[in-house]
Amino acid sequence: MDDADLQMLKQRAPGLAAIYHTGRESILHAADVAALEQARVTTLGRKSALTEFLRSISTLPAEDRPLVGKGGNIIRKELEALVDEREVRLKAAALSTSLAEERIDVTLPGQPFPAGHEHLISQTMREVEDIFVGLGYRIAEGPEVELDYYNFTALNTPPTHPARSAHDTFWVVEQRETMPEAVVDADRGVLLRTHTSPVQVRVMEQQEPPVYVLCLGKVYRRDSDATHTPMFHQVEGLVVDEGITLADLKGTVAHFTREFFGGDREIRVRPHFFPFTEPSIEVDVSCELCGGKGCRSCKHSGWLEIMGAGMVDPNVYGFVGYDPEKVSGFAFGMGVERMAMLKHGIPDLRLFYDNDVRFLRQF
């Protein structure tokens, strides 16, 4: 558009310059992308003064229309270019602001992620396991939901035996008709095992002597106080071989005690009764607190009971087809919680299951 054209345009369409200037101002002053969009709509939108002006060209005298139309379009293109340019600037500015504001300081210390560790009961089981695996024992397992037959009968504890009443527990099935044929005659049902001793029978059913096994796991009894919980853990050991005597049992337990509690602890053996061992014993360990002199923790006896044990009763061999004339063996059972309590001086069994990390973290 040359100067003559421009002069003419100013004369014919005086409002156009004002439209241009107002639009330009509002575009250049838009402070952010949203404001710019607003300015674009007011300046160039369908209802803007410029659009209305361009629409009204048809009402001008015919000889003016080309020039005025051309001028209007030039102005529209220029304003559009201004909008584009401004948009690029505003976006760049917004980006650099957010980069500055949202900068991450990678040198800040991270969120600590506390690492857990094994529960003291699991640690204790692992320790006991290591000691016996070191003696050549194999680890055996059995079900926690057990048949009456394995929990009692095959352990020389028939349905009428009074020793059953000391093991009151949680029965799962009491009906005879749900029992497998093979055991229906002798036994009443299915229960949560009251000790790990049924694994002895399961192992002997599965293999011939020599047997050197250790079984660790959960057992259940209807007890609940400072020294009993309805669920607790036991370790069971079973050895059957030729020529095994009570001296082997004593030597094994003495070795285990030294390894587990430390070299200076003594053991003593007292006669006891279990239906599935003959003779049966209980084993005590010398009290660490008083060094055997007697204190409150050992009830002034100097000794703390740690396990039941004995020579496997020949009647038990009868249930698994072993010949008691050829082989002999011993078995023992101990409470894992009790071992951990004695080793670490823990006063209340329930601490193991409160799951207070302040307690658990100490071990």
Phi/psi at 19 (5° precision): -60, -45
- 200 to 239, contacts with ligand DAH by CB under 6 A? 236
User: Least CB distance from residue 138 to ligand DAH, whole Å?
Assistant: 16
Binding window for ligand DAH (CB under 6 A); candidates: 84-92, 222-230, 259-267, 326-334: 326-334
Size of the site for ligand DAH (CB under 6 A): 11
Quick count: other Cβ atoms within 10 Å of Cβ 139? Answer: 11
Q: Is 187 in the site for ligand DAH (CB under 6 A)?
A: no
Q: Is 310 in the site for ligand DAH (CB under 6 A)?
A: yes
Q: Is 277 in the site for ligand DAH (CB under 6 A)?
A: yes
Going from the C-alpha of 271 to that of each of 132, 252, 282, the distances in angstroms are 24, 17, 6
The crossing angle, in degrees rounded to 10, of helices 15-29 and 33-44 is 170
d(CA 192, CA 146): 6
User: Least CB distance from residue 262 to ligand DAH, whole Å?
Assistant: 24
Binding window for ligand DAH (CB under 6 A); candidates: 26-34, 208-216, 288-296, 306-314: 306-314
Tokens of 29: 């002053």
Binding window for ligand DAH (CB under 6 A); candidates: 55-63, 136-144, 307-315, 344-352: 307-315
| Residue showing the smallest CB distance to ligand DAH in the complex | 333
Q: Is 169 in the site for ligand DAH (CB under 6 A)?
A: no
Sheet holding 231-241, edge to edge: 138-140, 211-220, 231-241, 328-335, 303-312, 277-286, 267-274
- For 110, residues 6+ apart whose C-beta sits below 8 A from its C-beta are none
* Stretch (H or E) spanning 152: none
Q: Is 164 in the site for ligand DAH (CB under 6 A)?
A: no
User: Least CB distance from residue 286 to ligand DAH, whole Å?
Assistant: 21
User: Least CB distance from residue 245 to ligand DAH, whole Å?
Assistant: 15
Give the start-end residues of each E strand in the chain: 138-140, 145-147, 171-173, 190-192, 211-220, 231-241, 267-274, 277-286, 303-312, 328-335
Q: Is the peptide bond before 198 cis (omega within 30 degrees of 0)?
A: no
Q: Is 274 in the site for ligand DAH (CB under 6 A)?
A: yes
Residue number with CB closer to ligand DAH (39 or 349): 349
- Applying CB under 6 A, among 157, 197, 286, 328 the residue interacting with ligand DAH is 197
Q: Is 308 in the site for ligand DAH (CB under 6 A)?
A: yes
Q: Which residues of 116-125 are buried (b: 16+ CB within 10 A; e: fewer)?
A: eeeebbeebb
Binding window for ligand DAH (CB under 6 A); candidates: 110-118, 207-215, 302-310, 319-327: 302-310
Residue number with CB closer to ligand DAH (262 or 279): 279
User: Least CB distance from residue 355 to ligand DAH, whole Å?
Assistant: 25
Task: List contacts with ligand DAH (CB under 6 A).
Answer: 195, 197, 236, 274, 277, 308-310, 331-333
